[in-house]
Structure 1
Amino acid sequence: METSYLLVKPMKNKTSLFFQFLFRSKRSIMVLIPSVFLLLCCKEPDTKDQVATISLWYGTEQSFGNIGHPQAQINVLGNIQTDSVGITTYYMLNDTQEKHVLTLGSDLHRLAAHGDFNIEIYRDRLKKGKNLVSIYVAKDKTVLASKEITLNYNPETEWPLPYSVNWAEVKDILDVVQVVDGHWKITPQGIRTQDVYYDRVLAMGDTSWRNYEVTTTVTFHGYTPPEEGPPTYNVSHAALATLWPGHDKDSLQPNRKWHPLGATAEFRITDGYKDCRWRIFDGDNFYAEQKEDKYRNIEEGLPYKMKHRVQDLTDNSVRYSVKLWDASREEPEEWDFQAIETSKTKHLGGSCLLIAHNTDVTFGNVDIIPLKEMATLVD
C-alpha cells in the first residue's frame, strides 16, 4: 500500500475543529477533515504506473575479443533504478529462454551502489560474432523495463605482448581493456574511477601470459579510510595484479572469489597518506608485506610511476617485484619490495589488472613488456 500523510496543525472555525493533512501518493492534496470523522482512502498503485530505468555504463553494443581474452568471462556492467518493491531482475542470452539471475547492489563487494549489476558470462557460452543479451525488470508477471545489448565476440585472438595504452588516443574504453568491475571514465590524465568502492578492476593481457612487467602512472585523489568490515575490509589501495585467470566460480552472482591468481601487489594507503606501504599476496597462502622502516609518505594529487614485474625463477618459484616513485623523477634502480612464492601450481599463466580498492585514482598510460622466460635468484 503506497500511502503517507502528514498532520500539519489543528485549525479552528466557528463550528468545529478541523485538521489539515497533506496526503502524498501520485499527487499531493491538501484536505480539511472534521475531527469527528477521519477517513483516508488509499489505492494500491497499478503495476503499469511503476517504472524502472536500466543504464548500461559502456553502451548497448560492446565488443569482446577484438584484442584478446584476459579472463574466462566477459562482463556487462550497469545500474537499475526503480521505486517499485518486490521486483525480480534477470537476463537472457541469445535465443534461449533460460532466465539467469541478476543480482542488484549493493552487495558490499563487487556491486557498489544501490541497483548496480554485473552480468558475468563465461566465454564458452558465447558464439562467434553477434550475441544478444536481454535484461528484464519484472514485478509479479509484468515486465516493468527491458533493454537489449549486442555483444560482438571474437574467440580467435590472442592479446599481443608487448602492449601499450595511450589514453589520449582512446575513444572507447573497451577497445583497449576489459572492464571487470566499476564505472570508469577517460580523462585528460588517464582513466579514473567514478565510484570509490571495493575492487574497481581493469584487465588486459592473456590467460597464457607469464614473465612480464607492467608500468603505469597512478594519482590519488582521495580514499575511504580503511576500517574493519565492508567496504574496505581494513585496506585501501591501488594495485597491479599479475597472472590473473578471472574470478573463480562460486555460488554468487557475480562470482566473488578473486583467487587463485599469481599475486596482487597493493600499494596501501593509510590515514593522511602517511606510512603507506606495499604488500604482495595471493588471497590464499602467500603473503608478504614491507617492513616498517620502508614505509613512506605520499602526496594527494601527485602522479607516481608504478611498476610490477612477475618472473619465473630457475628453481620453479616465482618472484614479484614492485616499485613506486615520483613521476617527475628518474626511475630508481632498486625495487621497493620483492617477494618470492616457492610453489606455483595453481594455473599456467594470466593477465594483468589495474585495481582501485576504496580509492579515487587515475591510472595513466600503460606499458607491458615481456621478460626472458627464466631468471636466477640473483638476477
Structure 2
Amino acid sequence: MRRPTTGVLGTGLALLSSLLLAQSPHAATASGAAFVSDDFASGVLDPSLWTVTDPAGEGTVAFPGAGTSNARLSLSVPSGTNYDPWGTNRALRATQPVTNDDFQAHVRFLSVPTAKYQTQGILVEQDATNWMRFEVHSDGSSLNMFAAKTVNGKTTTLLRETITAGTESQLRLTRTGDTWTLAHSTDGTTWITAETINHTIQATHIGPFAANGSPYPTFTADIDYFFDTAAPIEPEDGNTATTHTLTTTTDGQGTITRNPDNTTYPEGTDVTLTATPANGWTFTGWTGDTTGPDPTTTITMNTDHTVTATFHQDTPPEEDEYALTVSVNGDGTVQRSPSASTYPDGTDVTLTAAPAEGWTFAGWSGDASGTDESVVVMMDAPRSVTATFEQVSVDPPSVDVWYGDDQTFGVAGVSQRWVNVLGNVSDADGIQSANYRLNGNAPVGLSIGSDLRRLYGEGDVNVEIPYDDLSSGANTVAITATDTTGESATESVTVRKDVRSPSLPYSTSWGSSQNPNDVAQVVDGKWTSGSGGLTIVEPGYDRTVAVGDSSWDNYEVEVPVTVRGLTPGYGTPQSGSPVVGLALRWNGHTPRDTEEPAVGWYPTGAFAWYQWYDSGRYALIGNDGWPLSRDGAPWDFGTTYIMKARVESVAGGTDYSYKWWPQGTSEPQGWSLSVTDDNSPDTGGVLLIAHHVDATFGTVDVSPLGDSP
C-alpha cells in the first residue's frame, strides 16, 4: 500500500527527481520510484540531491574508482570516536529525500564488518529524533543482521539475527505500509530474509551509513551502489562519465589547495585553486593552463590540465645586529641558544648556566638577573651578562682546637721558648694537608698525626710558635685543613702574649680552672684540671705540661702523682718504656732536623721519673742522658706518691737530687738519688711528664733555694 502525499509535496519531489535525472547520467528515477538511484560513477555527490552528515566532524567521504567500472562511495569513521546512532544519530551518512510511500531499497557493500561493532547499513529518517536503522554489524566473532527504531531520542532493538559472512554484503529493505522486511545476500542472488517488522514512521530521507560502537573501531563502508529497485541504473557503472586529470605544481615555497579536492574530475567540473605562500615568500602568479596574479582562480575541467603556482622569496629588510658578551665568575660554563656572537634586533637568546663539579650557580648580573639557571635576553641593544658560580662546601674538614679559640700565654710565666696551640683535624675523605698563618703571614706547614711521638693521635696537630715571633697583646693564628677532595676549613685562634715573671715560692692552683692553660702551659696532649688535680684525658707519647718560668735557677719542686695504670702504645722504637715524672730546668723541645713540632729533649737540666722497665725503677738522668742514677723499686697503681726534686748550681756544675715516698707516710731524711752535671742549662722551669700512663698530678709547689754560689 502506498502512503498518500499532498499535491504540493508530490509535485515537488517528482520535479526534483526529473531534474536530478537530467543532471546526472549516474542517477536514475522512474515512475513509482521513492528516491533516486546512484552508482557513484561520477566521483561526486550531487549537492542538490545528497546531503552528507558527519556529526563528529572526523569522518571521510571518498570516491574510489570514479569514472571507471569499479566506481563506489566510501564512508570512513576513525578509531576512538563515537559514531554509534543509538539514542543520538551519530552515524556518518549520505541521505537524500524519499517519498513517504512503499519502496524497496537495495545497497551493495563491497566491505564486510569484522571488528566488534563495525557497522554499515540503510538509514530511514523522519527527523533528528526519529529514525530507523537496518544494518549488518560484527560482534567481534560473527556477523549480525540488525534493525532498531528511535522514537523521540529513545532507541529500541527490533531485530537481531546472526548470518554467514561472505566477501561482500548486500541489503534489501522492503517497505509495505508500516511493515518493514530486511534481507541479506553475499552475492545478490541468494537472499536470507529476516522476520517482518512493524513500525509507523513519516519517512523524509533515506541513504547508506557507516558507524561504530564501543570500543569505536575504525571502519570504511565501501558502497558500490544504492538503488531504488523500481528504478535501478542499468548498466551499473556502465555510463561512466568523461573525467579529466588536474595536475598542480609549485615553483618556490607555498601550497595549492583545490575545491573540490580530487585528482580527476567529471567533464565540465569547475575547480577552484587557491595559492598560499610560505612565510617569507610571495605568490607572483599562475602559469600553464591558467594565468593571472590573483591567488584564487577557477579552471573548468573540459580536458586534462596542468597548472603551476609561482612563489618568490621576500627580500628581508636590513636588520641591526647587536653583540652579546657573556662573562663567568667562578667555575662553570654558559651556553647560549641560538649560538652566535651577534644577533638581529629583537632576537631572544636563552642563556643556560652549568656549574662545574663542586660549584653552584649563584645568579645573573649585568643585563640579566635572577637565580634560575636559564634566562632569556632580548637583543634590542648590545648586552653584557655575567654568570656567578660559588664553590660548594660539602662536608669540609673539622678543625678542633682543644683549649679554645682565645688563649693567653705568659701570665703564669714563660715556662719554655715556645707557645703550643694544640688540636686535631679530621675529615671523612681524609686530610691531605694542614698549615697555619700567624697574623696573616705566609702559611707554615703542619705535620699531622699520628707519628707515634708528640703527634700521637690520628689527625693531631701542634702549632709550635716561638715566643719571640708573637707580638705583645693579641695575635691571630689561622689553622687550615684541606681534605683529599680539595675542600678546606679554617679555624682562627686569638693568641695573646702577656708575659709576667712569677716569683718563688710558687704553687699551681689546678682547681681554679678546668683549662690547665690558665695555670700552666700544655706542651703536648689533651689534659683537664680541677680540684682533683691535673689529669691526662688522652694518654699517649710524652703528654707534658710546663710549669713556672724559664728564668728560675735553684729550686725544689714537690708534686703528688697518682698512676692508675699503663696505656697502650708503649714498647715501640719511638716510645720505649712507660714513664711518669719531672724535668728540671726545662726550656722547651729543640729541633733535630726539619721536623715540626721539634722532638729533641736536650739541653735539659735533668729528668727525675719512675720507669716501668723490667720490675720498675726510679731514675735521675742528667743533660744529654748523663750522668745517670737508678734505684729499682715497685710502684703501686692507684697509690699517690710524692715526688720531690732539687736543682742547685754548685762550683764545677749543677747538683740534682730526687726522692719519693707514698703520700701519708714520712718523708725520707736524705735524697734517694743524686747526680752532678757539668753540662747543665743555667735556668729553666719544670715539666710534668706522663708517658703512656693514666696519671693525675696534684698541686705543684716550687720553693727557692737562695742565691747561687
* TM range, smaller chain: 0.7 to 0.9
| Match of residue 75 from structure 1 | 420
Displacement after TM superposition at 1:300 (Å): 0.8
Displacement after TM superposition at 1:287 (Å): 3.4
Does the aligned pair in 2 maintain the 1:51–1:84 contact within 8 Å?
no
TM-score, length of structure 1 as denominator length: 0.79
| Match of residue 634 from structure 2 | 297
- Counterpart of 1:246 (choices 572, 588, 593) is 588
Does the aligned pair in 1 maintain the 2:604–2:624 contact within 8 Å?
no
| Match of residue 360 from structure 1 | 694
Displacement after TM superposition at 1:353 (Å): 0.7
Are 1:66 and 2:411 matched, yes or no?
yes
Are 1:134 and 2:470 matched, yes or no?
no
Cα distance in 1, alignment partners of residues 530 and 548 from structure 2: 22
1:78-122 Cα shifts (integer Å, max 9, x gaps): 1111122462211111132x0111111011110111001100000
| Match of residue 210 from structure 2 | none
Displacement after TM superposition at 1:362 (Å): 0.4
Does the aligned pair in 1 maintain the 2:589–2:598 contact within 8 Å?
yes
Cα distance in 2, alignment partners of residues 151 and 262 from structure 1: 29
CA RMSD of the aligned region, Å?
2.2
Structure 1 residue identity aligned to 2:440: D
Displacement after TM superposition at 1:169 (Å): 2.8
Are 1:89 and 2:434 matched, yes or no?
yes
Does the aligned pair in 1 maintain the 2:397–2:482 contact within 8 Å?
no
Does the aligned pair in 1 maintain the 2:513–2:530 contact within 8 Å?
no
Displacement after TM superposition at 1:373 (Å): 3.1
Does the aligned pair in 2 maintain the 1:259–1:282 contact within 8 Å?
no
Are 1:308 and 2:651 matched, yes or no?
no
| Match of residue 372 from structure 1 | 706
1:125-146 Cα shifts (integer Å, max 9, x gaps): 1101110010111247944211
Structure 2 residue identity aligned to 1:324: W
Displacement after TM superposition at 1:182 (Å): 0.8
1:305-351 Cα shifts (integer Å, max 9, x gaps): 111111112x222111111111011212122211121x13x533111
Displacement after TM superposition at 1:226 (Å): 8.7
| Match of residue 317 from structure 1 | 653
| Match of residue 336 from structure 1 | 672
Structure 1 residue identity aligned to 2:595: L
Displacement after TM superposition at 1:124 (Å): 1.1
Residue 329 to residue 51, structure 1, CA distance change in 2 (3 Å): same
1:20-62 Cα shifts (integer Å, max 9, x gaps): xxxxxxxxxxxxxxxxxxxxxxxx9998434311111111100
| Match of residue 327 from structure 1 | 663
Are 1:116 and 2:116 matched, yes or no?
no
Does the aligned pair in 2 maintain the 1:221–1:300 contact within 8 Å?
yes
Are 1:281 and 2:621 matched, yes or no?
yes
- Counterpart of 1:204 (choices 547, 552, 556) is 547
Does the aligned pair in 1 maintain the 2:563–2:639 contact within 8 Å?
yes
Cα distance in 1, alignment partners of residues 702 and 439 from structure 2: 35
Does the aligned pair in 2 maintain the 1:205–1:351 contact within 8 Å?
yes
Does the aligned pair in 1 maintain the 2:406–2:494 contact within 8 Å?
yes
Are 1:263 and 2:606 matched, yes or no?
yes
Structure 2 residue identity aligned to 1:189: G
- Output aligned runs, 1:8-157, within 5 Å: 48-85=393-430, 87-96=432-441, 98-139=442-483, 142-155=486-499, 157=500
1:242-293 Cα shifts (integer Å, max 9, x gaps): 111111134111011111111111211246xxx4222222462513132xxx
State the SS of the aligned residue for 1:353. Answer: strand
Cα distance in 2, alignment partners of residues 319 and 80 from structure 1: 43
Cα distance in 1, alignment partners of residues 431 and 423 from structure 2: 20
Residue 278 to residue 163, structure 1, CA distance change in 2 (3 Å): same
| Match of residue 684 from structure 2 | 350
Cα distance in 1, alignment partners of residues 433 and 583 from structure 2: 35
Structure 1 residue identity aligned to 2:598: N
Cα distance in 2, alignment partners of residues 353 and 227 from structure 1: 20
Structure 2 residue identity aligned to 1:357: H
Are 1:178 and 2:524 matched, yes or no?
no
| Match of residue 29 from structure 1 | none
Structure 2 residue identity aligned to 1:115: G
Cα distance in 2, alignment partners of residues 80 and 140 from structure 1: 13
Structure 2 residue identity aligned to 1:184: W
Cα distance in 2, alignment partners of residues 193 and 86 from structure 1: 26
Cα distance in 1, alignment partners of residues 358 and 485 from structure 2: 15
Displacement after TM superposition at 1:367 (Å): 0.3
Which protein shows a greater Rg? 2
Cα distance in 1, alignment partners of residues 428 and 564 from structure 2: 33
Displacement after TM superposition at 1:164 (Å): 0.2
Does the aligned pair in 1 maintain the 2:622–2:628 contact within 8 Å?
no
Does the aligned pair in 2 maintain the 1:136–1:143 contact within 8 Å?
no
Cα distance in 1, alignment partners of residues 398 and 703 from structure 2: 43
Matched residues, percent identical?
Answer: 34
Cα distance in 2, alignment partners of residues 176 and 146 from structure 1: 28
State the SS of the aligned residue for 1:284. Answer: helix
| Match of residue 508 from structure 2 | 165
Give the number of equivalent residue pairs. 320
Cα distance in 1, alignment partners of residues 431 and 543 from structure 2: 29
Does the aligned pair in 2 maintain the 1:231–1:358 contact within 8 Å?
no
State the SS of the aligned residue for 2:541. Answer: coil
Residue 145 to residue 225, structure 1, CA distance change in 2 (3 Å): closer
Cα distance in 2, alignment partners of residues 230 and 193 from structure 1: 23
Cα distance in 1, alignment partners of residues 571 and 647 from structure 2: 30
Residue 289 to residue 121, structure 1, CA distance change in 2 (3 Å): same
Structure 2 residue identity aligned to 1:304: Y
Does the aligned pair in 2 maintain the 1:226–1:236 contact within 8 Å?
no
Extract unaligned runs of 5+ from structure 1.
1-43
Does the aligned pair in 1 maintain the 2:415–2:550 contact within 8 Å?
yes
Displacement after TM superposition at 1:219 (Å): 0.3
TM-score, length of structure 2 as denominator length: 0.43
Instruction: Report which stretch shifted further, 70-79 or 167-176.
Output: 167-176
State the SS of the aligned residue for 2:529. Answer: strand
Residue 133 to residue 318, structure 1, CA distance change in 2 (3 Å): same
Does the aligned pair in 1 maintain the 2:430–2:484 contact within 8 Å?
no
Does the aligned pair in 2 maintain the 1:215–1:306 contact within 8 Å?
yes
State the SS of the aligned residue for 1:174. Answer: helix
Residue 319 to residue 125, structure 1, CA distance change in 2 (3 Å): same
Structure 2 residue identity aligned to 1:242: L
Are 1:237 and 2:583 matched, yes or no?
no
Structure 2 residue identity aligned to 1:253: E
Instruction: Report which stretch shifted further, 74-83 or 201-210.
Output: 201-210
